[in-house]
Structure 1
C-alpha cells in the first residue's frame, strides 16, 4: 500500500498523520518539512524498543544536537518523577520552543512525552512515532497527554497536539501477539462506536491484523482507525461532548488497571477489551443494544479467542476495589458517571449511569 497521509484539521493546531512502510529511515526528512526551525532534538524511548529503530531515527536527523533518553517500559514509568527527568534534560541542553521532542514507543512514552512537552516553557514541538498498534491507532493522535497518580490513571494531564505523527506498520513485527491483541482493542472500539461497515470488515479480516498476515490489511485498519479518531477530534478537540465516545469501555478499563496497580498482569488494551464487553452488556441491560447485536460482538471475541469475562482476572473481593476507583473517575457527577453505551453496532451514546443502580450490579453479574 502506498504512503497514506491523513490531516487532523484543528486550525493552527492542525497536523498530518503519515502511514508508510520503512518510514523510520525518513523520519528526519518528514520532521524537517513540518518543523524547519528545530535545531535540537530529544528522542524519548524505552528499553523495549529495538536499537535499530533508535539508530534509524537518530541517523535520519541531520543535526549534531540530538540526544537520547531511555526509560523503563510500562505504566509505572508514566509519573511525575520521569516527567521531571525529561524536563531536566531539556534544561540541561538548553532547548527552546523551536526545538523538538520525539516520542518513540507505545502509549506510555507518547503520553509522558506529550505531557512533558506541553509544560516545558509552555510548549515545545512534539513528534509522535508510535511503535505499538494501540499507540498507532489511538493514543498518538488527538493531543491527550497524561501521567498516572495514586488516585488513578491519567488523572494529571493536558491537551497538547503533536506537530506530526509518523506511523511505520513494520515496527509491529517486533511486538508479541499479546500487544497486537491489545492494539486491536482500540481498532474494534472505532468500529463499535461509529463505523458499522468497518465492524463487518473486521468480522472477516481481524485474523490478518492480529497475526500481521497481510501488511496491506493492517495498514487499512490503521488508516480507518486514524480517520475515525481525526474526525472526532476535529469536532471536539477538548472533549466537551462528542469526543467522550472514545472512552467506550475505558471507564471500566481504567479501574481494572488501577486495581492491578498498572502491572504487566493486565495491559491497557486487554483492560479495554474487558471494559467494552461489560459496557456492551450494560447497553443490553438498559434496553439500548439488542441481543442479536450483542451476540455479534461476543462471536467476534470468541472467533479470535479473546477472553472477555473479568472473573478470569479478578475475584469477587475485587469488586469493591473496582467500584471505588470508578467513584473517583473524572466523569463523575454526583452519584452518576457518564458512560459510553451502544445503541447498535456503529452507534454510541453518552449516558449518565447510576453507580449503585447500574454499575455495581453489572460488575457483580460478571461473576455469575
Structure 2
C-alpha cells in the first residue's frame, strides 16, 4: 500500500472480463462486478458466500422468462440449487400485497438466517427482495443481480430497500447492504429502448451531480450506448456510475448528509410519479431526467448557475431521445400547487421543509432547504404552460 492510500475508499479494477468496484463498508463490504457473461458465472461468484449450496431467487415474470434459466445453469455449474418466485412486473409490485407474498414464500422455503436471497430483476425487484431479506428472521443476506440499466447503475448499490405506500414512493423500507452485486451488461440487450433510456436518466444524473468530465464523456459516447455492440462503453458507463455512488455511500451510508446528492432530480420526479399513479405514463428514470432538467432550471432562476446550464442538460437529453419536460408526459397533471403538495411527502422533507438538490453548474450539485415555494411554483407553472 502506497503512502496516502485510503483503505476505506471505493476501488475499481478493470480487465478483459469487465470491472469490479469494491464498496468498503467494514464487515458489510462487498464487490460490484460489471461486465458481460456474469449470469453464466453466477455460481462461481456466489458459491464462496454460501453456507449451503442453495439460494432463493425472487424475480418478476418478464425477467424470469428471459434470464432465469441462464441463472439456474450458472448456479448449477457449481452445484447450487435454486428455488424461484416470479412476481408480476411493474411498479405496482412494490406494495404490501406482493411484499407479503414474497416474505411468506421465503418462509415456506425454510430460508434460514445464514442462507442467501437473490434479487433477479430491475429496481422494483431489487428493492422489494432486499427489503424482504432485511426483515426476514431479522436479516438474511442477499445478492443483487440487476437486469435493467437503471438498477445496475443505481438501485442495486448502496443498500436502500423498500416498497411504496399510497402516500408516496419508497416510504417503507430499510438500509440493508447486499453481499454481492452482479451487473451483467449482456442482459441490457434484452431491454426495450424506452427502458434503456429510462435507465440512462440515472447515468446522466451522476455527471450532473458531481463529475463534469463524466457528463462530457456521456455527451460524446451516450448516443452510442444504444448500440448493442458498444460493450466497452456500456461497461465504462456503468462502472463510473457505480464508483461514484459507492464513494458517496461510503461517506454517508444512511443519508444523513452527502448521500442526498444522489437524489438530484428526485424531488420533482417522485411528485410526478405520484401524479401519474406510478404507471407506465412515466417510468422512474424518465422522471429523473425531467426532474434534473427542472432542478437546473430552478438553480438558474435562483442565480445559482449560468442561464446556459439548463439548456445544456436538455440538449443532451433530447439528443438521447429522452423526455425532458412536463409536456412530454401524457395525460393530465395537477397544477403547480398540487405538484408542490405531492413533494411534501418526499423522504427528504426535514421538519416539514423540503430539501432540494440544486447546482452551481454541471458537476456541482449541493443540498439546500432554503428554496422559496414561490420560485418552485413559478418553475412548475411555466413548465405546465408548455403542455
Contact 2:119 2:126 in 1 (8 A): yes
SS of corresponding position for 1:7: strand
2-structure distance, mates of 1:57, 1:338: 41
After TM superposition, list the pairs within 5 Å mapping 1:30-179 onto structure 2. 30-33=45-48, 35-49=49-63, 51-62=65-76, 63=79, 65-179=81-195
Contact 1:184 1:210 in 2 (8 A): no
RMSD of aligned Cα (Å): 1.6
Contact 1:127 1:162 in 2 (8 A): yes
Contact 2:47 2:53 in 1 (8 A): no
2-structure distance, mates of 1:323, 1:103: 34
Instruction: Report the equivalent of 2:336.
Output: 319
2-structure distance, mates of 1:168, 1:183: 14
TM-fit CA distance, 1:37: 0.9
TM-fit CA distance, 1:153: 0.4
Contact 1:340 1:349 in 2 (8 A): yes
Instruction: Report the equivalent of 2:304.
Output: 288
TM-fit CA distance, 1:335: 5.4
Instruction: Report the equivalent of 1:356.
Output: 373
2-structure distance, mates of 1:356, 1:20: 44
Give the TM-score normalised by structure 1: 0.95
TM-fit CA distance, 1:331: 1.7
After TM superposition, list the pairs within 5 Å mapping 1:245-324 onto structure 2. 245-313=261-329, 315=332, 317-324=334-341
Choose 76-85 or 158-167, whichever is displaced more: 76-85
2:363 matched to 1:336?
no
Choose 249-258 or 49-58, whichever is displaced more: 49-58
Question: Structure 1's 352 and 178: CA in aligned 2 closer, same or farther, altered over 3 A?
Answer: same
Residues 14-33 of structure 1: CA deviation (Å, up to 9, x unaligned): 00001121110110110112
TM-fit CA distance, 1:125: 1.1
2-structure distance, mates of 1:111, 1:20: 22
TM-fit CA distance, 1:56: 1.6
Residues 265-318 of structure 1: CA deviation (Å, up to 9, x unaligned): 111001111111000100101111112333321221232232311033265644
Contact 1:257 1:263 in 2 (8 A): yes
TM-fit CA distance, 1:52: 4.8
Structure 1 alignment gaps of length 5 or more: none
TM-fit CA distance, 1:320: 3.7
Residues 27-59 of structure 1: CA deviation (Å, up to 9, x unaligned): 0110112x1314431111111115352112122
Question: Structure 1's 295 and 54: CA in aligned 2 closer, same or farther, altered over 3 A?
Answer: same
Choose 316-325 or 303-312, whichever is displaced more: 316-325
2-structure distance, mates of 1:267, 1:180: 11
SS of corresponding position for 2:354: strand
Contact 2:18 2:235 in 1 (8 A): no
Instruction: Report the equivalent of 2:28.
Output: 13
Give the TM-score normalised by structure 2: 0.91
SS of corresponding position for 2:129: helix
SS of corresponding position for 1:336: coil
Q: How many residues align?
A: 367
Contact 2:147 2:184 in 1 (8 A): yes
Choose 257-266 or 49-58, whichever is displaced more: 49-58
Structure 2 alignment gaps of length 5 or more: 1-15
TM-fit CA distance, 1:210: 3.0
TM-fit CA distance, 1:330: 1.8
Choose 243-252 or 317-326, whichever is displaced more: 317-326
SS of corresponding position for 2:336: helix
Choose 252-261 or 348-357, whichever is displaced more: 348-357
Question: Structure 1's 354 and 291: CA in aligned 2 closer, same or farther, altered over 3 A?
Answer: closer
